[in-house]
Every structure is written in C-alpha cells, then in structure tokens.
Amino acid sequence: MKEHLQHRVFAIISNIAQAHHLEVFAIGGFVRDSILKRPCKDIDIVVKGSGISLAEQVAAAIGPGCQVTVFKNFGTAMLHFDDYEIEFVGARKESYHADSRKPAVEEGTLEDDQNRRDFTINALAISLQKHNYGELIDPFGGLNDIKKRILRTPLDPDITFSDDPLRMMRAIRFATQLNFTIWPETFEAIKKNKERIHIISKERIITELNKIVLSPVPSIGFDLLDQSGLLEIIFPQFAALKGVEIVDNKGHKDNFYHTVEVLDKISLNTDKLWLRWAALLHDIAKPVVKKYVAGSGWTFHGHEAKGSQMVYEIFKMLKLPLNEKMKYVQNLVFLHLRPIALVEDTVTDSAVRRLLFEAGDNIDDLMMLCEADITSKNIKKVERFLKNFEIVRQKLAEIEEKDRLRNWQPPISGEIIMETFGLPACKEVGIIKTTIREAILDGTIGNNYDEAYQFMLQQGEKLNLKKK
C-alpha cells in the first residue's frame, strides 16, 4: 500500500509518530478511493491520542503559513497542504441513544474506530508508523469487498442503521456512485429500519440525495431508494410517479422509469446539478393531473404548468434553495413541452421569439432537457424527433441572430415613458411597456430603440397622453 502514500505529508506524519511514539493511520475514503484509483483530495488521519495535537505538530513541521482549524466540539482538526484537505481525529468508540444519531464518544483504539465505520470499504486503514509503514489493516475484508464491488457493514447492519439512519442514505449513495451492489443482508436491514430516517434532518438527507443526482447513473440510486421504501418517506411526490393504471385495456407509460431514464440520459451530457433536478421534476405533476378520457385514453394536460408550481413545494420540503436555482428549475419544467411544438413549418417567428424571451439564457439547457425527454423504444421515432429538434435549433438561431432576444431587455424603459409623457408611476406606464414588448415579440416592430420609441408615442396617443 506504500504506493498510495506518495504525498510528502505522509512522511511528515510518520516522522512525528516515530518521535512521539504515536499510533497513526490513514483511514476511510482516502484509502478506499486510492485502491479504486478514484481522485481524492480529502485525507482522514486517525491517531490513538489527540488528533488536534497531531495536527498542530504536522502544521509546525510543514512550516509558516500552514494554518490549523480546530473543531473542539468534535475533537478534530483540519489543515490544507498543497491541494489536499487533511483531517485529524483521535481514535474513538461510540454508543448511541434511540432518539438521536449523535453518539456518546470516548477515546478508543484503532479497532474501536474501525468498528464504528459505516461500511467495510470505509474501515480500511494504512499504517503510517515506521515499523509497518504502508501496511493495510483490514479486519472486515474491505479490500475483498472492493474487488467484488460489494457494500456491507462491518458489524450487524441492523444495529449500524438503527444507530445512525443516515448510513442508509449513504449506502445507496455509495452504491450509486461506485456502481457497487448492496449485500442482501445489508439491504434487508435498510428496508427494516427505513422509518428511522425520520430522525435525520432534511439538510443531511438532501446532501446525500444531491450526490445521488450527480452520480454517473442516478437511476441506480432512485431504484434502490424505491425498493428500500425510503423514497416514499423522503420524496413522496417522486414515489407517486411509479405505476401504470389501466382502464378499458389502455395504460400509460410508467412515469417513474421514464423520468429516471431521462435523468440518466441528460447526465451523459451535463454535470449541472439544477439541470439534472429539472430532468427529475419535469413530469412530477403527471400523477396529479392524470385523467382518463373515454375513447382517446390517458391525458396529462397541464402537467408542465402544475409541475412548475410544485417545484416550490418540493424545494421547500427538501430544504433545497428557494432562490434563482429554484426559479431556473421552475422555468425549465414549465417550458419543457414548448420546443417540439416549433417543428411545424407553419410555426410563426412570433412563437419562436416568445420561447427565446421566456427561456432567456436557459434555452440551451431547455433543448438538452427536451432531447433527453425522448425515450421511445422505437428507434426511428427517436431519430425523427432528434431531426425535428435540429430544425428547432436552426429556427432559434436564426431568430436570435436577427432579434437578439436572449436575456431581453426592453429598448424603452418605464423611466423613459414617464419622462416622455410627464407621468408618475402608474398603470399607463405598465400598459405601454407591455404593448411594446408584445409588438416586438409579434414582429410588428423591431427590437431597437427608434422603432420602439415611435411605437410608444402612438400608444400614448391612444391613451390620450401627450408628449411633454
């Protein structure tokens, strides 16, 4: 394992350990990711004794400018060295109360520290002591689990998840990120303890959920959340997408599997968290608006508008940000049906202008979402739709070049209207502004000051307003 200890910080720590007769180990995610050959800039160091004291000694050895951040409540310390964030903690053992995931902590040995770890792959430790430098300490077969791509707990999974229910979310997150299989006994314990997730804060849950959303193949995580029963508890609106209702031998697609397929497809092309959330929520309102119409089948009329409204409720419930990020998701959900309607030859420039106006800088992300939304098993149908989207892109580019409507700002401001007609802030100002905007979008006037100014004067006359 010495090949994973090339950074000079390990030699510094080893020298200090030798000088002060300390038992020191690299442990956890750094060891796991090094074996998996995954990039990792976080190093966890465990020491039998004071982690804070060791961090201060390491910082002194590194030299001036190396600052230690101490977290006294947790008995940990952290420093930055080169591109690495290194955390130091004393070896400890933990005991839990039924109503909290916060353990009672006391000093312990490396064995105690490994016993408290969530999964065998995170319980791996590498010695930093001179006499056995680079030796792997692997009491639970974590290395073999990595080779077999298995996720299981070091101790009884029932106790592990009951003690700290967040570990259930972490299990599914790791399985998704690493494409590991959760050991059957471990997964059964998740299903058994699913209700314990109620004691975990929404902030902790959403951190793990976002990591699932950002995984290479997010559908793995959502399928596991569904199978475990956790999804219905933490995200009931999404769980409601699952299932197919049949009336008069007519069914509809399973919107759960359609949605996670869309999410997987868009994840091939973007790492943007909020674009992935837009994919996740684009059909979220379908169970709410679903209706069977005799003779024609199932309809989901208005699901884009209702879905846009639901984004706020969902973001609030999940403790996601209620700011521009939420508005961005709302915008994409609301508009996700619009581009395909622009394919027809009969579509007017006005309709294209309006989409550009409403989407603004989100237009490229919207088009990516729409293309990911094509999930038919009919290859020819998919090809036809993709060709149609190329037509839409051309139309958008042509109108954008001509009319410059992306992130549109009106050529005539409210201040100009008030100054021209000697008006205070009033409804007439709003009427004229709206009329100018609609005229530009309809193509009645060009998107420029001169034409808009003359049009403003005409509209003012209609409202019996006189130029000052």
3-24: average pLDDT: 92
386-440 per-position pLDDT tens digit: 787 787 888 888 777 666 656 667 889 999 999 999 999 999 999 999 999 888 8
| Beta carbons of 451 and 459 less than 8 angstroms apart | no
What's the whole-model pTM score? 0.85
Is the pLDDT score of 378 beyond 80? Answer: no
Q: What's the pLDDT at 344?
A: 64
Walk me through the domains of the chain, giving residue ranges and CATH numbers.
Answer: 2-148 (3.30.460.10), 149-234 (1.10.110.30), 268-381 (no CATH), 414-462 (no CATH)
Is the pLDDT score of 294 beyond 90? Answer: no
Among 17-31, 305-319, 368-382, the range scoring the smallest mean pLDDT is: 368-382
313-335: average pLDDT: 97
Among 46-50, 161-165, 320-324, 439-443, the range scoring the smallest mean pLDDT is: 439-443
How large is the greatest C-alpha to C-alpha distance in the chain, in angstroms?
94
Is the pLDDT score of 358 beyond 70? Answer: yes
Find the helix packing angle between 51-62 and 8-20, rounded to 10°.
Answer: 120
Is the pLDDT score of 89 beyond 70? Answer: yes
80-105: average pLDDT: 78
pLDDT interval class at 345 (50, 70, 90):
low
Residues in Cβ contact with 260 at an 8 Å cutoff, skipping those fewer than 6 apart: 218, 219, 222, 223
Pairing of the two strands 76-81 and 68-71:
antiparallel
3-state secondary structure the chain: CHHHCCCHHHHHHHHHHHHHCCCEEEECHHHHHHHHCCCCCEEEEEECCCHHHHHHHHHHHHCCCCCEEEECCCCEEEEEECCEEEEEEECEEEECCCCCCCCEEEECCHHHHHHCCCCHHHCCEEECCHHHCCCEECCCCHHHHHHHCEECCCCCHHHHHHHCCHHHHHHHHHHHHHCCEECHHHHHHHHHHHHHHHHCCHHHHHHHHHHHHCCCCCHHHHHHHHHHCHHHHHCHHHHCCCCCCCECCECCCCHHHHHHHHHHHHHCCCCCHHHHHHHHHCCCCHHHHCEEECCCEEECCCHHHHHHHHHHHHHHHHCCCCCHHHHHHHHHHHHCCCHHHHCCCCCCHHHHHHHHHHHHHHHHHHHHHHHHCCCCCCHHHHHHHHHHHHHHHHHHHHHHHHHCCCCCCCCCCHHHHHHHHCCCCCHHHHHHHHHHHHHHHHCCCCCCHHHHHHHHHHHHHHCCCCCC
31-59: average pLDDT: 93
Identity of the residue numbered 284: I
Q: How far is CA 194 from CA 119, 239, 364, in A?
A: 18, 15, 39
| Beta carbons of 357 and 397 less than 8 angstroms apart | no
Q: Mean pLDDT score of the chain, rounded to an integer?
A: 90
